A and B are shown apart, each in its own frame.
Chain A
Amino acid sequence: MRILKLKKKDLKKFLESTSSFGELWTPVKKGERYVFQKAAPKDVDPDVLRTILPLKKFMVPQRFTMFKYDREGYEEQVGKVGNRVVFGAHSCDIAGLNILDKLFRETYPDPYYIERRKKTAIIGVSCMPDKFCFCDETGTDSVDEGFDLFFSEVGSDFYLVWVGSSLGDDLTRNAGGLFDENVSQEDIQKFIDWKKTREKAFKLDIDLTAMPSIYELNLNNKVWDKIGDRCLACGSCSMVCPTCNCYNVTDTVALKEVQGTRDRAWDACTLCEYSLVAGGHNFRATKADRLKLWYTHKLEAFVGAYGKPSCVGCGRCLTNCPVDINVYTVAKTLRGEEVFFK
């Protein structure tokens, strides 16, 4: 992979040059937290750690129209998607996107996802973990694909920039010579030192060893009922999770004539109607059943199918669940620790 150097003071200039590809989106403060928003290069803060919603919102909007229909049939509405440059994604975010790629780009490719994915340049930035981060445990503390460019902070003066795609390459070449090809031995050492510092910065101790087996063994454990009783079935964990991709499809009728839209919106398996079928049978009527699905899917089933969990350790469930049900507490509980009831 091509690796270049960029002086930190040139970051703004570089981001200005990307406007020839598309509009810039980056984490911007909203209340106490951050959201990906359209912003000017001067507003970019590369130190922001966690946004409320992950990158999936760029590829699968919360709600959008798939088809318009009338008497003649269904007309596809992939729609006009503008080019975007997303700056400020972290390795966990990109790892999440790579998991969505498997789902939406492989068997039966999804045109709505692919159109947006193609038109979104992903520029990653390295980060220092806070007390909620555990990407070191999920093997997503660095990524080697899924981005167009990835900026690693090394020391106080510059970034090492990984070029991950041909579009990324274009962006660097279009920046008016800001990027330096010459990476010195000293730079490499700085990178190694930075890596070591980062490794030591992870504070959350979460043991995912043998998690698939532990889940399987605990399938009938009564502790799920306790977790279920606690759950509010609000769906927040799914909304903020970078790899949750479930959706619902509904038809909306216009008031005149036979016409309307077929719309798609985010759904969550923790919501009550998720597995309800016509006739009234609910395959997962209890909150415990639905939580089991959420957690086994992330930490057991996905491991069976792809060899690693579909949790990327971003910590969003830790910071969002109002009743502290998250990968950390559930994993601990299944390992026999009394987490909730101390």
Chain B
Amino acid sequence: MNKDTCDAGETIINPYQPEMMRIVRKYDLTSDVRFFQVRPMDPARAMSLCYKPGTFMMISSLGTGEAPISISSSPSRPGLLEFCVRNVGTVTNSLFRLKENDIIGVRGPYGNGFPMEKMKGKDLIFIMGGLGAAPLRSPLLYALDNRDDFGEIYVLHGAKVPGDMLFQKEFFDMTERHDLHTMLTVDKDDTGKWPAKVGLVTTLFKDVKDIDPSNTFAAICGPPVMYRFVIQELLKLSIPKNQILMTLERRMKCGVGKCGHCVVKHIYTCIDGPVFSYWDVLNMKELIY
């Protein structure tokens, strides 16, 4: 009861301290999204990086500030962290000016991530739109690297136009695999050469057949407009509401449940999220719109 207000044992690691990491590789995924591979300066640290798929990190660019960015790599492939950054704000803009071997500040990982343990043995459907492929690539690669642990895997990936599809080669390669169902679509083919489907991502659901709905987890990430329609399709497939997962974005300044910006009721998107179930969302209307 009697809390001592002066406890020397309360020494702590500064949770806001960025760790300096090196950009080892970068290339453009689309006209405004760039892929970054980042590695801690210390090789031992690089190999011991530990994170869950679906978590994010706070990335600092010297002199501009910090922004939350989802991890696109999978912990099953240690040594490097991968991020997809869209050039939209001051921090991301300055990240775009950096070259290989430049240094950035990184702290994290933060957030709950996907419940990969619970998802084991289940069928999985990944539904991604636009930049939504960035966070979902992590659990997808994780599932593929541990392929025997999961049932059927469906990947439904949509973009506005062919030039907007992230990791195009990687996903086209996946369409060749026999151990998963990869379906790619664009809203509009402005090139005339698009070899896959044309139409909204929701049109791909008619080919989702070999799943056991009560034993299926779905993971959604995409632009806000996408959620409502995708959720309807998943409900039509009879997937339980608490097995429909989505990863959300909010303004964040701390990542550790302090600064308040990402709060929705008593939920901090940064520590209680960013992965929420549709059931969570139904109970907190503000979460997706």
Contacts and interface: CB of A to CB of B under 8 A. Distances in A.
Contact of B63 (A145, A258, A283): A258
A39 interface: no
A251 interface: yes
B42 to A, nearest CB: 13
B223 to A, nearest CB: 10
Contacts of B286: 283, 293
A267 B257 contact: no
Interface stretch (A28-36, A159-167, A334-342): A159-167
A74 B105 contact: yes
Given A118-B5, A247-B258, A276-B251, A260 B63 contact: yes
B2 A164 contact: yes
A67 B58 CA distance: 15
B265 interface: yes
B249 A277 contact: yes
Nearest to A120: B5
Nearest to A111: B14
Interface in B19-68: 20, 60, 62-67
A278 B105 contact: no
B22 to A, nearest CB: 12
Contact of B10 (A109, A262, A283): A109
Contacts of A274: 251, 261
B163 interface: no
Given A73-B20, A122-B5, A164-B2, A110 B253 contact: no
B112 interface: no
A1 B1 CA distance: 10
A14 interface: no
Interface of A: 1, 66-67, 69, 71-74, 76, 78, 101, 103-105, 107-111, 114, 117-118, 121-122, 144-148, 164-167, 219, 245-251, 253, 258, 260, 262, 267, 269, 274-279, 281, 283, 293, 296-297, 300-302, 304-305
B73 to A, nearest CB: 22
23 contacts: A66-B16, A67-B17, A73-B20, A74-B18, A107-B271, A110-B258, A111-B12, A117-B5, A118-B7, A145-B3, A148-B6, A164-B3, A165-B6, A166-B4, A245-B258, A247-B254, A248-B253, A251-B66, A269-B261, A274-B261, A278-B92, A293-B286, A305-B266
A111 B62 CA distance: 22
Chief secondary structure at chain A's binding surface: mixed
Contact of A166 (B6, B12, B249, B256): B6
B208 interface: no
Interface string B258-289: 11110101110001000000000000011000
Contacts of A269: 260-261, 263
A247 B60 contact: no
A267 B263 CA distance: 13
A304 B266 CA distance: 8
Contacts of B3: 101, 145-146, 164-165
Interface of B: 1-8, 10, 12, 14-18, 20, 60, 62-67, 86, 88-89, 91-92, 103, 105, 224, 249-251, 253-254, 256-261, 263, 265-267, 271, 285-286
Contacts of B265: 296-297, 300-301, 304
Chief secondary structure at chain B's binding surface: loop
A118 B10 contact: yes
Contacts of A118: 5-8, 10
Contacts of A301: 263, 265-267
A300 B267 CA distance: 12
A275 B261 contact: yes
Nearest to B8: A118
A111 B254 CA distance: 13
A258 B20 CA distance: 15
Contacts of A105: 10
Nearest to A269: B260
A319 B82 CA distance: 51
Given A74-B17, A76-B17, A109-B10, A69 B62 contact: yes
A83 B200 CA distance: 63
A114 B250 contact: no
Contact of A107 (B5, B17, B251, B256): B256
Nearest to B7: A118
Given A69-B62, A248-B261, 11 more contacts: A73-B103, A74-B17, A78-B14, A101-B3, A108-B256, A110-B258, A111-B12, A118-B8, A274-B261, A281-B224, A301-B263
B18 A283 contact: no
Most buried by A among B12, B63, B257, B263: B63
In the A-B complex, list the 10 residue pairs whose CB atoms are closest, starting with the nearest. A278-B89, A246-B260, A301-B266, A108-B256, A301-B265, A305-B266, A278-B88, A109-B12, A108-B15, A279-B88
Contacts of A304: 265-266
A249 B66 contact: yes
A108 B286 CA distance: 25
Given A165-B4, A253-B63, A304-B266, A275 B250 contact: yes
